[in-house]
Chain A
Amino acid sequence: AQKITQTQPGMFVQEKEAVTLDCTYDTSDPSYGLFWYKQPSSGEMIFLIYQGSYDQQNATEGRYSLNFQKARKSANLVISASQLGDSAMYFCAMREGRGSTLGRLYFGRGTQLTVWP
């Protein structure tokens, strides 16, 4: 079974609008971390936001927020006020185990976001 599922291969949003990128995960480990990375065409993977399994509040970082629904095992990324520079591939990822030292990240297949003027 896939650990991370991203069901939206592509998403389109108009500039200044909000967009939600879906992510569901599968784990039996009570301790895990969820990450979102952005990958522009240049190739660099840019860390956006992190949510720990024990965190009570949804994570927020500027225009990025993570809608964490633990019972549904979903960790959707919400980008508010989209900008043209947000056009990129977005990956959801998960690390299992508290304090894992090995950084083994399980990635979803990604969602290609296109922001149009």
Chain B
Amino acid sequence: DTEVTQTPKHLVMGMTNKKSLKCEQHMGHRAMYWYKQKAKKPPELMFVYSYEKLSINESVPSRFSPECPNSSLLNLHLHALQPEDSALYLCASSQPWENTGELFFGEGSRLTVL
């Protein structure tokens, strides 16, 4: 079983809806990430939080709004999305100081925008 839990697993939303994706980990990791993955493509980094502060925003459109309320939780707020935003959204976590930098991924939230 994955130690990074993402909810919901599937989400269908219209272009005018507001929804949120949630991610939770209890491994004591202090770095958390959002990745976007289109079908048959590799994951693309969106955001990185390190010690609950936003460290990296890969020029993601403002209709995606990340939030890290505490060291265990990571949210991605969605508003006014486009059909091309339909994808698998993966959350990951790691210890910032470990040299291996291994990321632990959740199972993802599969988003469909109508």
- Taking Cβ atoms with an 8 Å cutoff, the residues of A that contact B are 33, 35, 37, 42-47, 50, 52, 91, 95, 98-105, 107-110
Contacts and interface: CB of A to CB of B under 8 A. Distances in A.
Interface string B89-100: 010101011011
Secondary structure dominating the interface of A: loop
B41 A33 contact: no
A50 B100 contact: yes
Contacts of A33: 99-101
Contacts of B42: 91, 107-110
Interface in B9-56: 31, 33, 40-43, 45, 48, 50, 55-56
B103 interface: yes
A103 B50 CA distance: 10
Contact of B105 (A44, A99, A101, A109): A44
Contacts of B102: 35, 47, 50
Contact of B107 (A44, A100, A108, A110): A44
A13 B14 CA distance: 42
Contacts of A44: 2, 105-108
B104 interface: yes
13 contacts: A33-B100, A42-B107, A43-B107, A43-B108, A45-B43, A47-B104, A50-B102, A52-B100, A101-B97, A102-B96, A103-B96, A105-B43, A108-B42
A46 B42 CA distance: 14
A36 to B, nearest CB: 11
